[in-house]
């Protein structure tokens, strides 16, 4: 697999707790990047995002070596087992029924680029020419956008932006959306983020993440701008930046 360069950060924003979570796991078989945004009161969302991320990464040792054989099938099973492990982590805690989380997962191997997502945490695939692809949110604004009733730049500030149509919970049988592409291309950039980042980051700023030399200060500058634009009502914010090196 090509060398990977990556940066990541998270911020509590203007909230009392940070229900976002992120993890990275890189082995000889694959690289896993994951961002999750928890939902639910009384720390339920915080626990959901934490447990899910750790469960998925814990199972990377088992499923990572298998993923090139049948990416869609293996990742689907990997997700299912992660939710089962998440359920065990709650150990019968009554908050579990109200504990939800989104996820944006990027898996890079020598042969494939694989994305899996649920909710409105996003993955962007970007090169110097622009945004090549992004995940579609499982949300009301995304449905309105797909129906031609909303512009892309209006999605983040729509009154129903927090209305999700799909989310992870131990009690529901969610259908993960999985996409499989050919091998990572040299110089490509991937950005994984929670809605706290993408809602207040402009398209040209995403594109600049693929063209600029990147260090943590540069990513921090983008995050600070998103928080500033939220005008004192900033959500938790999490972003991972990944570039396929030469």
- pLDDT tens per residue across all 246 residues of the chain: 779 999 999 999 999 999 999 999 999 999 999 999 999 876 899 999 999 999 999 999 999 999 999 999 999 999 999 999 999 999 889 999 899 999 999 999 999 999 999 999 999 999 989 999 999 999 999 999 999 999 988 998 898 988 999 999 988 767 789 999 998 999 999 999 999 999 999 999 999 998 887 776 889 999 999 999 999 999 999 999 999 985
DSSP 8-state symbol, 147: T
Instruction: Count helices and strands (H / E) in the chain.
Output: 7, 11
What predicted TM-score, i.e. pTM, was given to this entire model? 0.96
- For tokens 């799909």, the residue is 166
pLDDT, position 228: 95
Domains along the chain with CATH numbers:
4-244 (3.60.40.10)
Q: Which residues contact 213 (CB under 8 A, 6 or more apart)?
A: none
């Amino acid at each position: 697999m090509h060398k990977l360069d990556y940066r990541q950060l998270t911020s509590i924003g203007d909230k009392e707790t940070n229900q976002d979570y992120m993890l990275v796991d890189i082995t000889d078989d694959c690289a896993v990047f994951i961002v999750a945004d928890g939902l639910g009161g009384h720390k339920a969302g915080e626990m959901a995002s934490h447990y899910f991320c750790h469960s998925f990464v814990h199972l990377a040792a088992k499923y990572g070596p298998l993923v090139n054989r049948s990416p869609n099938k293996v990742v689907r099973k990997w997700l299912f087992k992660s939710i089962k492990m998440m359920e065990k982590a709650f150990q019968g805690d009554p908050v579990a029924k109200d504990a939800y989380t989104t996820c944006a997962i990027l898996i890079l191997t020598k042969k494939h680029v694989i994305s899996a997502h649920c909710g409105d945490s996003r993955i962007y695939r970007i090169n110097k020419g622009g945004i090549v692809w992004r995940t579609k949110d499982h949300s009301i604004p995304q449905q309105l956008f797909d129906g031609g009733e909303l512009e892309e730049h209006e999605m983040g500030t729509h009154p129903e932006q927090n209305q999700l149509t799909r989310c992870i919970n131990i009690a529901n049988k969610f259908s993960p959306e999985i996409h499989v592409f050919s091998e990572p291309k040299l110089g490509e950039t991937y950005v994984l983020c929670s809605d706290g980042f993408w809602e207040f980051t402009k398209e040209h700023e995403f594109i600049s993440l693929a063209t600029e030399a990147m260090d943590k200060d540069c990513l921090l500058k983008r995050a600070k701008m998103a928080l500033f634009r939220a005008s004192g009502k900033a959500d938790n914010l999490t972003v991972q930046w990944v570039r396929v090196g030469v």
